[in-house]
Amino acid sequence: MQNTKPAIPSARPSRSRDFKVLPRDPISVGSKFLPFHTPEIGTEEIQSVVETLQSGWLTTGQKVKRFETDFARYIGCQHAVAVNSGTAALHLALDAVGVQEGDEVIVPTMTFTATAEVVLYFKAKPVLVDCEPDTFNIDPLDIERKITAKTKAIIPVHMAGQSCNMDRIMEIARRHKLKVIEDAAHALPSRFNGKMIGTIGDVTCFSFYVTKPIATGEGGMAVTDNLEWAERMRVMSLHGISKDAWKRYTNEGSWFYEVQFPGFKYNLTDIAAALGIEQLKKCDRFWQARKQIAAAYDEGFAAVPEIQRPVCAAYSQHAWHLYVIQLETERLRINRAEFITALKNQGIGTSVHFIPLHLHPYYRDTFDYKPDDFPNATAAYDRIISLPIYPKMTADDISRVIDAVQSIVLEYRR
Ligand SMILES: Cc1ncc(COP(=O)(O)O)c(C=O)c1O
């Protein structure tokens, strides 16, 4: 191998001189596989769940109410509606703002299918938009290009936990009379120009899926300052039954209820809320831990020209839900998929966020999308890898990731 490039300094000064390629087989390294993610569940969460189980109230009840109140206070918004997934929150949000059959909803191609799938629930059309080449957030210029007379709403996704440019998106939305439903599955806690994500758009949706900044296994929250939408989401989350249907088995409740709309079964359980209440208390600590890992990665890859680090916009307080590196593949003799395999061989779990929607068979074939329709997302897809970033990681874990990335670059650089 031609090696005219400067040597990569190790993340740990003590190893800077004996920097070497690690053995390939993780078992022979003797260290365990480092998963892409594991949630941090402490005794507080376990205790809280046990108490809930002992209380006999397992489904939606006081714990859910408490989780909603705590969450609204944390975000600084008026209303929080707890549901059983982030996808459910997005679905209810679109329903609340009045999306209907035949409407178009603007969705970034660089996202998880849930963001676009919920649009299809209404027989509306998800209109995909390219991402910015650096932040991977939805490109406001491409939003403008895709707006038609049928457009009803925009769903910006705060990719990896970095807020979109909400001033530009809100300005476009208001000018065209569109609703803004923020997909904040990654964005807890994130800020745009100091404003908490959850206080800007019309409705903002969070996810508590196991890999997310706080986890309840499955769960989600829709937040808004609009009382009417909050009530609609609450009613629709529980079969479209009249207000506070969940109380009908309590002292305060009544046997009588009325079905007002054909709703959904999206309510969160008290068991999940018991987890959520305790996780939320740790949200800032988790964020600080992720921030430190991101800083360590930034430092570890600073002198590795083959690795492009995440670009942080000045207006964003990044939640660091994900740390997405971009490979300068033209400088390497392996491609992104092979790089992931090489990391796996060194015992490091990774992921890819995201396989852009336009490359998936369903969206490609149904809407006839071509890779060139979304040049930034298509180009990014071949280069991105999400590295492990979660509070449970030890200093050794972080160093292992940095060393593994560096060693693979050294082995395969052109
Ligand atoms: C950007 C984005 N939106 C929505 C979702 C859906 O969240 P949930 O799994 O809680 O339904 C996810 C989950 O991975 C996501 O990453």
Q: How far apart are CA 207 and CA 190, in angstroms?
A: 14
Q: CA 57, 58, 64, 67 torsion: positive or negative?
A: positive
What is the best residue among 207, 210, 321, 355 to mutate for testing ligand 1's pocket, by most ligand atoms within 8 Å of CB?
207
7 vs 29: CA distance, rounded Å = 24
Residue numbers annotated as active site: 212
How far is the centre of ligand 1, averaged over its atoms, from the C-alpha of 112 (Å)?
6
- What pTM does this model have? 0.92
**Which contacts of 20-23 are long-range, i.e. CB under 8 A and separated by 24 or more positions?**
20/407, 21/407, 21/410, 21/411, 22/346, 22/403, 22/404, 22/407
Structure token pair of residue 252: 């305060």
Nearest CA to ligand 1 atom 7: 86
* Ligand 1 site-directed mutation target among 112, 121, 208, most atoms within 8 Å of CB: 112
How much is the average pLDDT of 151-156? 98
- Kindly state the DSSP code that residue 374 receives in the 8-state scheme: S
DSSP string over 382-396: TTEEEEP--TT--HH
Lowest mean pLDDT among 6-15, 145-154, 230-239, 375-384: 6-15
**Helix 86-96 vs helix 113-120: crossing angle, to nearest 10:** 40
Decide if pLDDT at 4 tops 50: no
Question: Mind listing the pLDDT tens digit for each residue in 308-329?
Answer: 999 999 999 999 999 999 999 9
Q: What would the mean pLDDT of 219-238 be, rounded to a whole number?
A: 97
Q: Both tokens of residue 312?
A: 């942080």
Atom of ligand 1 nearest to the CA of 87: 11
**How large is the average pLDDT for residues 355-368?**
98
Using the mean position of ligand 1's atoms as its centre, give its distance from the Cα of residue 149 in Å: 28
- Name the DSSP letter for residue 82: E
How many Å lie between the centroid of ligand 1 and the Cα of residue 348? Answer: 23
Using CB distances shorter than 6 Å, the residues near ligand 1 are 85-87, 111-112, 114-115, 157, 183, 185-186, 207, 209, 220
Backbone angles phi, psi at 181, to 5 degrees: -110, 110
Inter-residue contact 407 to 346 (CB < 8 Å): yes
pLDDT band at residue 83 using 50, 70 and 90 as cut-offs: very high
Using N-to-C axis directions, what is the helix angle for 283-301 and 395-412, rounded to 10°?
A: 30
To test the ligand 1 pocket, which listed residue (209, 210, 353, 357) has its Cβ within 8 A of the most ligand atoms? Answer: 209
Residue owning the nearest CA to atom 10 of ligand 1: 86
**CA 185 to centroid of ligand 1, rounded, Å:** 6
Closest CA to 405 of 352, 311, 336: 336
How many Å lie between the centroid of ligand 1 and the Cα of residue 155?
13
Q: Indicate if the pLDDT at residue 16 is higher than 90.
A: no
* C-alpha distances out from residue 30 to 46, 185, 347, 399, 412, Å: 31, 35, 10, 16, 24
